[in-house]
Each structure stands twice: as C-alpha cells, then as structure tokens.
C-alpha cells in the first residue's frame, strides 16, 4: 500500500497535458470485419468551383460513391490490407500493403487529386501550347475595339489534375539495419492561366490573361538505409527528383494591333535534383543526446533557350549568349540539436541550423528586346543574369526547468545571421529571446504563457546593389550616381530591413469535469520596421480562439470552436518618376519627385476572419450513428490609402472584400444487421464573395488588359449521397 501511495504521489506530481480524447473511429469501418465495401450514389445540385474546389464534386448530377477497406484475417505470418477511397470521383486514391510482421513491407498506391478554380471566365484563344485567335479576328488598339471578340469568347475550365502512382518497400536486413526504397511517378495536367504582355515601351504595354496548358511529369526515387543500435540511430537516404514539362513555351496570337505579335513565354524548365540526406541521433549518455538532420542537394536545369522573341519581325543583330542556361544550384541544410539533462528537472537544448544556396551558373549579358514588339536594343542595355547566393546560420540554446505545481519555465536565445549576394542588404543579424512558462496548478487546469522579443539589424542598405548586379557597365557609367538604383534609396524591403518583433501567447485549458474540455488560445505579434522610411513600417497580428468539447460517453461527443484573426499592416511609398526607367542615357535633374516627401503615400491593410464550427459524433443506438459538422467563415479585407498632399495623388480606399461561407455536413449510418448498413450523407454549402477585382469586371473593362471577365463566386450547393455498406468476416 505504501508503494502505491508513493506511485500515486509521483503521478500526481507529473504534468499531464489536457488533450481531448483520441480521434473517434469512422463508423463505416468496423474492427470486427475483414472487409467493408461502401457503394452508392451521390447527387450534387449545381456546377460549382468553390464547393468542389478539391473534393471532386464540382459537377452537377450524379456521382458514384465507392470506398473499400479489406484486410487479411488475423493470425497469419503475413498480412495485407487494401483500401480505395472516392472511387467514383477524380479525387480517388487507393493503397495495397503487404507485410511480414515487421520484417518486410510492400506498398503500392495511386492518388488522384483535382483542383478546380473559378471557371466563369472566358477567352477568345483556342489551342494548347500555341494559342490562336479566330481567323476573322479584327484587332484594335484596345479591347473595346475588337468587334469580333464577343463571338470569339468561350468558357474554359481551369482545372489541374494530379495522378500519382507510387511503390515502396521496407525490409529489415537484421535487427539493426533496415532498407527502404520508393518510386513514384506523377502526372499533372490541366489548364491554368497566366498573364502575357506585349509592349515596345513598358509605360504603354498591352497584356492578356491566357489559358495555360499544364502537362507536367515528375519522377521521384529514393533509397535509404537505416541503422538502429542501442545508442546510435542513423537514417541515410539518396533521392532523385526529375521534373519534365511537356511544353517548353506558350505562344499566342497578339490581339492588339498597337504592337506586333505574336507573344511567347518560356514555361517552367525541365529540372532535376539529386540529394543525399542523413538524419540521426547519438545517445551520448542517458542524459545527453545529439540529433542531426542534414542534406546536400544539387538541382540543375539545362533547358534549351527559346529565341529572343516569338515575333519574327523583331530585328535581331546579336545572337543569344548561349543556347541554354546550364545552371546548377547546390543546397545544403543542417539542423542539429544537443539535448542535455544535467539535473533531473533541468534540461538544455543547444541547437545549430544552417542553410546555404550556392549557384554554379554562367553569367552573361542578355541584350533582349523589350516586349515582343521592339527591336533588339543597344548592347549597353544588356541585362546580366545574377546569382542570389544565400547563407543562413543560426544557433542558440533553450534552458528549461521544471518547478513545483507541475510547472516548467524555459528561456531560449537564438542568434541568426543571413548573408545574401546581389541584393540590397548584404547581411542581417537577429537576436531572439523567448520566455515561456507552463503551469498546471490543479490537475484539471493548464496555463501556458510565452513572450518573445526579436531584434533584427541589417547591414548598410546598398540601394544601388541590384543596379550594379543587373546592368551593363556602360549604362552604369552613363547614369548619375544618385540615379543608380532600382528601388528608391529610402525604400526598405521588409524582409531585409531592421525589425523589432514582439510576440505573446496565452493558452488556457480547463476540464471543469471529466467530460468537458475548454480551451482559450490567444496570440499576438507586432513587427516594427521603425528604421524604414518607405516600405512596410509595421504589422500586427492578433488571434483569439476558443473551443469546447463535451464527451459524456464513448458514444457521444460534441465540440464547438470559434476563432477571430486580425492582421494589420502599414506600408509607405513615394510616387516618383524619372531615372533610368524612362531613358537610360538621358541625364535628368536629380529626380525632384523622388526627394519630395509630399509625394509620399501610405496603405493600411486590415484582414480579418471569423471562423465558427461545431461537430457532433453520436452513436444513438447500436444500430444508428449520426455525425454532423458545421463551419461558418466570414472574412473581410480592407485597404485604406492616404497621401501626403501632392496635387496629382488622391488614392481612394478600396472597397472592402468580403467572403461568407456556411458549410454543413451530416451523415447517418443505420446498421440493418451485422453485415449491412445504410448511410445517408448530406452537405449544404453556401459561399459568396464580393472581390472588387472581379465585380463588374468584364473581359473588356480595361483598354490594355484582356482579362478573363470572371465573376465572383456565389454558390448554394446541396449534396446528397445514399450508400450501402457491406461487411464480411
């Protein structure tokens, strides 16, 4: 009895996370059967692209419900199991696994997914990798001039399907060594969209949104060997990933007659990556262990270049500097930890992380024609491709001490230095301090509090660096010193600039009774870019979430949650003209607009979201199970603008962008007898938005951009499914 009391006392002294009960089993799949098949039919009330964005139910009408779980009977030396989900939909997936205890495992699988996007837009283009306009196309200077546009427009689906086949094997070579290998092949096909531009002078360009034919293939293979000893565990892998794009380019007829056509875009180049990765753990002593995970990869591509221009009318006097990029980038990563427990209640975690990206690629000057309408420019206007080598190193330590009342106090310090080539800031350094406290004063209540402060300092802002990196020396010499920039000298790119960051989190969990779990989670973060005159100056993110679950028995659980997010950011700019963009070799006075603070403007953006949800799992009786899930999402995005007084600047606030979603799902499963069950599924989906970039914007709303003229989604969808579930022993 004394032993038991002591054990009980020890148990009471230990912190226990107040996690909800584990996930409930899907009532369709019973443990008592070796096989279960679900067959039936579903009906979707209307065509849609939001409800069916990812679930395969984007078309109206009937669809097949087909699901399968099948496994070998228990007790044999070997086992197998098979599953198929969504057999009747384009999101179907399946898997077959065969194994011999823990010695050998083979897996074969297929996985299809489908993404549909807003398909309410139209285009006059026909074709795949070469987009043609109808023969009777009558061009014009602007979209409103195209007399034959109306007849040429047709709807097109924006859908991307992924179909993946995979196989893997895992074999125990002996008690310590295990061999793993996998192979997969994925095809991604469908139609996306991309913007294409035509111009002689970019100040007066034309553009069209184009259907983009997608036909990708990715083959990946991995072989790994793992070792598991008493103190050393290693997992080494070599993998290959090859990406093949069937289309090298997208060409299209130019619908405008202000610039010569056609247009051409180089699509994602074929590329491949070889990588080695080693993950491991070495237990130095019972109180000390070393963990590491590092990789080294070589990614390369040598796709043949397209011509300077798709337009044969463009005058070319100088050939391409080379026929292909033939570029390679080496990516090294390392994450390491040293875990120490010098005292039973005291833990130290020292860590070091590194990431490097080094380019090995030729650097050439590209004397490229602007737009597909201009002739090749002077050689002094050549632009040089640039390598953006990146080196990041961080290290630090966390010290944690377990205190009375099941509490834990920790302090972490991290130092990070990032070095980049050919960007405005050569180096940034950041110190980060995190203080966290967790306490469980009563067995049914846990509180966690975390505060974080980080201070990032940037080396001198070299606003001329990208100018030097990209442009020809002749042009640089012809440009006055104070105009040798691409971004305004007072402008700071937020991810490269000085920043003070404060963040806090509070998490409270309370179990007022064994059947209840209540949680409140608050977090806040403020990023202050106080040293930035122009650019992002501040952002603030506040979040509040609450949830409650009630599980009075194994047969009933009910949970609700609510969350609110608010993200605000402030950014400043200065409207200015002049400099190299307008005429590279004309000497301007020192940019009067650029030094005029009355030309400043500011944008305050606020994004808010409210999410509410409830979930019910109820085994009403031995024969009847009910499930219900409801989600409500309400978002709003605001952009308020202000100016500093320049007469020609009067930016107005954008209208707020709002979205609303109600999504209700319910299922009832009635067990007719030991083998047969009937199931009804119902979903109600109601979504609408009022995005100003779609509202009342037709294909011809803009003179110089042919848009898709897509409309805001406004969907009210009902889905009903009826199926039979048959089980066998």
Nearer to other proteins, 136 or 496 (CB): 496
The single residue listed with the structure tokens 């179907």 is 92
Nearer to other proteins, 108 or 297 (CB): 297
Tokens representing residue 296 in the block? 């080294």
Least gap, CB of 582 to other proteins (angstroms): 7
Least gap, CB of 586 to other proteins (angstroms): 13
CB neighbours (10 Å) of residue 199? 19
Site string for other proteins, 237-276 (x = CB under 8 A): ----x-x-x-----------------xxxx-xx-x-x---
CB neighbours (10 Å) of residue 154? 10
Q: Is 434 in the site for other proteins (CB under 8 A)?
A: no
Residues of span 29-88 touching other proteins by CB under 8 A: 29, 31, 53-55, 69, 71, 74-75, 79, 81
Least gap, CB of 108 to other proteins (angstroms): 17
Please name which of 685, 641, 648 lies closest in space to residue 666, comparing C-alpha atoms: 685
Nearer to other proteins, 59 or 135 (CB): 59
Q: Is 279 in the site for other proteins (CB under 8 A)?
A: yes
Residue 491 near residue 466, CB atoms below 8 Å = no
Least gap, CB of 43 to other proteins (angstroms): 19
Instruction: Choose which of 122, 160, 439, 470 interacts with other proteins (CB under 8 A).
Output: 470
Least gap, CB of 136 to other proteins (angstroms): 26
Mark the segment that binds other proteins (CB under 8 A) among 124-132, 152-160, 453-461, 532-540: 532-540
Strand positions, DSSP E, 511-555: 516-528, 534-553
Least gap, CB of 682 to other proteins (angstroms): 17
Mark the segment that binds other proteins (CB under 8 A) among 40-48, 59-67, 126-134, 418-426: 418-426
Nearer to other proteins, 516 or 654 (CB): 654
Size of the site for other proteins (CB under 8 A): 189
Residues of span 98-137 touching other proteins by CB under 8 A: 99, 101-102, 113, 115
Dihedral sign, CA of 37, 38, 41, 47?
negative
* Integer angstrom CA distances of residue 217 from 244, 245, 270, 486: 5, 6, 9, 38
Nearer to other proteins, 17 or 135 (CB): 17
Tokens representing residue 123 in the block? 């285009």
Query: SS3 sequence, 205-247?
Result: CEEEEEEEEEEEEEEEEEEEEEEECCCEEEEEEEEEEEEEECC
Q: Is 209 in the site for other proteins (CB under 8 A)?
A: yes
Tokens representing residue 96 in the block? 């077959």
End-to-end CA distance of the chain: 46
Nearer to other proteins, 135 or 336 (CB): 336
Nearer to other proteins, 22 or 136 (CB): 22
Q: Is 575 in the site for other proteins (CB under 8 A)?
A: yes
Q: Is 584 in the site for other proteins (CB under 8 A)?
A: no
Residues of span 153-192 touching other proteins by CB under 8 A: 178
Q: Is 145 in the site for other proteins (CB under 8 A)?
A: no
Dihedral sign, CA of 711, 716, 722, 725?
positive
Nearer to other proteins, 136 or 585 (CB): 585
Residues of span 616-645 touching other proteins by CB under 8 A: 631, 633, 635-637, 639, 641, 643
Helices (H), 577-657: none
Helices (H), 94-247: 149-152
Residues of span 587-616 touching other proteins by CB under 8 A: 591, 594, 601, 603, 605, 607, 609, 611, 613, 615
Residues of span 489-528 touching other proteins by CB under 8 A: 491, 493-495, 519, 521, 523
Across 319-351, b (16+ Cβ under 10 Å) vs e yields eeeeeebebebebebbbbbbbbbeeeeebbbeb
Nearer to other proteins, 136 or 558 (CB): 558
Residue 116 near residue 53, CB atoms below 8 Å = yes
Instruction: Choose which of 530, 655, 676, 714 interacts with other proteins (CB under 8 A).
Output: 655
Residues of span 545-574 touching other proteins by CB under 8 A: 545-547, 549, 559, 561, 563, 565, 569, 571, 573-574
Least gap, CB of 479 to other proteins (angstroms): 12
Nearer to other proteins, 137 or 366 (CB): 366
Q: Is 535 in the site for other proteins (CB under 8 A)?
A: yes
Q: Is 404 in the site for other proteins (CB under 8 A)?
A: no
* Integer angstrom CA distances of residue 698 from 252, 575, 708: 21, 29, 7
Q: Is 23 in the site for other proteins (CB under 8 A)?
A: yes
Least gap, CB of 138 to other proteins (angstroms): 21
Site string for other proteins, 699-728 (x = CB under 8 A): --xxxxx-xx--------------------
Rg for the chain, CA atoms, rounded = 31
Q: What are phi and psi of 120, to 5 degrees?
A: -85, -5
Instruction: Choose which of 581, 587, 592, 728 interacts with other proteins (CB under 8 A).
Output: 581
Nearer to other proteins, 277 or 718 (CB): 277
Burial class (CB in 10 A: 0-12, 13-18, 19+), 272: middle
Least gap, CB of 514 to other proteins (angstroms): 10
Q: Is 693 in the site for other proteins (CB under 8 A)?
A: yes
CA–CA separation, 108 and 165 (whole Å): 8
Q: Is 333 in the site for other proteins (CB under 8 A)?
A: yes
Least gap, CB of 113 to other proteins (angstroms): 5
CA–CA separation, 725 and 605 (whole Å): 51
Q: Is 423 in the site for other proteins (CB under 8 A)?
A: yes
Please name which of 27, 24, 25 lies closest in space to residue 678, comparing C-alpha atoms: 27
Across 460-493, b (16+ Cβ under 10 Å) vs e yields ebbbbbbbebbbbeebbeebeeebbbbbbbbbbb
Residues of span 355-394 touching other proteins by CB under 8 A: 355, 357, 359, 361, 366, 368-372, 383, 385-386, 388, 390
The three-class DSSP label of residue 56 is coil
CB neighbours (10 Å) of residue 259? 21
Q: Is 400 in the site for other proteins (CB under 8 A)?
A: yes
CA–CA separation, 186 and 111 (whole Å): 9
Please name which of 164, 265, 271, 255 lies closest in space to residue 212, comparing C-alpha atoms: 265
Nearer to other proteins, 88 or 99 (CB): 99
* Cβ-proximal residues to 127 (8 Å cutoff; 6+ apart), any chain: none
Instruction: Choose which of 27, 66, 205, 211 interacts with other proteins (CB under 8 A).
Output: 205
CA–CA separation, 169 and 191 (whole Å): 35
Least gap, CB of 135 to other proteins (angstroms): 26
Q: Is 94 in the site for other proteins (CB under 8 A)?
A: no
Q: Is 207 in the site for other proteins (CB under 8 A)?
A: yes
Tokens representing residue 587 in the block? 């000497």
Q: Is 200 in the site for other proteins (CB under 8 A)?
A: no
Nearer to other proteins, 135 or 622 (CB): 622
């Amino acid at each position: 009895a004394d032993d038991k009391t002591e054990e009980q006392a020890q148990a009471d002294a230990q912190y226990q996370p107040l996690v909800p009960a584990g996930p409930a089993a899907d009532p369709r799949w019973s443990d008592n059967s070796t096989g279960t098949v679900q067959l039936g039919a579903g009906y979707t009330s209307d065509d849609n692209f939001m409800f069916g964005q990812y679930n395969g139910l984007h078309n109206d009408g009937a669809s097949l419900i087909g699901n399968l779980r099948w496994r070998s009977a228990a007790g044999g030396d070997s086992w197998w199991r098979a599953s198929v989900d969504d057999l009747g939909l384009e999101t179907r997936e399946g898997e077959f696994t065969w194994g011999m205890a823990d010695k050998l495992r083979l897996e074969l699988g297929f996985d299809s997914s489908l993404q549909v996007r807003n398909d309410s837009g139209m285009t006059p283009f026909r074709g795949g990798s070469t987009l043609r306009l109808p023969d009777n196309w009558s061009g014009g200077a602007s979209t409103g001039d195209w007399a034959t546009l109306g007849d040429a427009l047709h709807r097109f689906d924006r859908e991307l399907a992924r179909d993946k086949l995979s196989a893997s094997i895992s074999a125990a070579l002996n008690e310590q060594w295990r061999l793993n290998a996998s192979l997969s092949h994925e095809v991604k096909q469908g139609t996306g969209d991309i913007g294409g531009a035509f111009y002689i002078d970019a100040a007066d360009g034309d553009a069209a949104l184009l259907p983009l034919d997608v036909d990708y293939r990715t083959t990946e293979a991995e072989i790994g060997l793992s070792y598991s000893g008493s103190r050393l565990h290693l997992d080494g892998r070599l993998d290959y990933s090859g990406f093949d794009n069937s289309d090298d380019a997208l060409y299209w007829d130019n619908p405008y007659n202000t610039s010569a056509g056609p247009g051409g875009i180089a699509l994602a180049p074929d590329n491949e990556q070889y990588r080695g990765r080693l993950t491991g753990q070495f237990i130095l002593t019972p109180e000390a262990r070393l963990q590491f995970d590092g990789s080294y990869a070589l990614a390369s591509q040598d796709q043949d270049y397209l011509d300077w221009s798709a337009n044969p009318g463009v005058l070319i006097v100088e050939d391409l500097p080379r026929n292909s990029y033939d570029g390679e980038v080496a990516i090294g990563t390392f994450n390491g930890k040293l875990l120490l427990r010098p005292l039973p209640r005291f833990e130290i975690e020292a860590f070091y992380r590194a990431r490097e990206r080094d380019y090995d690629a030729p650097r050439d000057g590209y004397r490229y024609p602007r737009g597909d309408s201009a002739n090749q420019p002077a050689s002094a206007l050549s632009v040089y491709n640039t390598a953006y080598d990146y080196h990041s190193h961080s290290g630090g330590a966390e010290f944690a001490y377990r205190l009375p009342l099941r509490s834990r106090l920790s302090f972490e310090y991290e130092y990070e230095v990032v070095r980049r080539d050919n960007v405005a800031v050569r180096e940034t350094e950041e110190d980060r301090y995190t203080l966290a406290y967790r306490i469980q004063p009563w067995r049914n209540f846990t509180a966690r509090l975390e505060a974080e402060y980080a201070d990032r300092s940037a080396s001198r802002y070299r606003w001329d660096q990208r100018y030097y990196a990209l442009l020809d020396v002749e042009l640089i010499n012809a440009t006055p010193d104070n105009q040798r920039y691409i971004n305004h000298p007072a402008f700071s790119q937020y991810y490269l600039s000085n920043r003070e960051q404060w963040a806090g989190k509070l998490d409270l969990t309370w179990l007022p009774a064994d059947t209840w779990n209540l949680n409140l989670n608050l977090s806040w973060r403020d990023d202050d870019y106080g040293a930035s005159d122009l650019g992002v100056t501040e952002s603030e993110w506040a979040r509040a979430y609450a949830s409650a679950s009630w599980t009075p028995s194994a047969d009933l659980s009910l949970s609700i949650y609510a969350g609110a997010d608010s993200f605000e950011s402030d950014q400043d700019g200065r409207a200015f003209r002049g400099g190299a963009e307008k005429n590279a070799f004309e000497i301007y006075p020192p940019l009067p607009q650029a030094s005029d603070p009355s030309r400043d403007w500011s944008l305050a953006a606020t994004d808010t979201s409210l999410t509410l949800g409830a979930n019910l799992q109820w085994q009403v009786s031995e024969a009847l199970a009910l499930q219900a899930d409801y989600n409500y999402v309400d978002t709003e995005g605001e952009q308020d603008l202000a100016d500093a007084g320049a007469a020609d600047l009067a930016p107005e606030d954008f209208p707020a962008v709002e979205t609303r979603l109600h999504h209700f799902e319910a299922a009832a499963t009635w067990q007719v007898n030991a083998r047969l069950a009937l199931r009804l599924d119902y979903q109600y989906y109601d979504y609408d938005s009022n995005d100003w970039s779609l509202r009342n914007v037709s294909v011809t709303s803009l003179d110089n951009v042919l848009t898709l003229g897509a409309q805001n989604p406004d969907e009210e969808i009902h889905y009903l499914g009826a199926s039979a579930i048959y089980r066998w022993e």
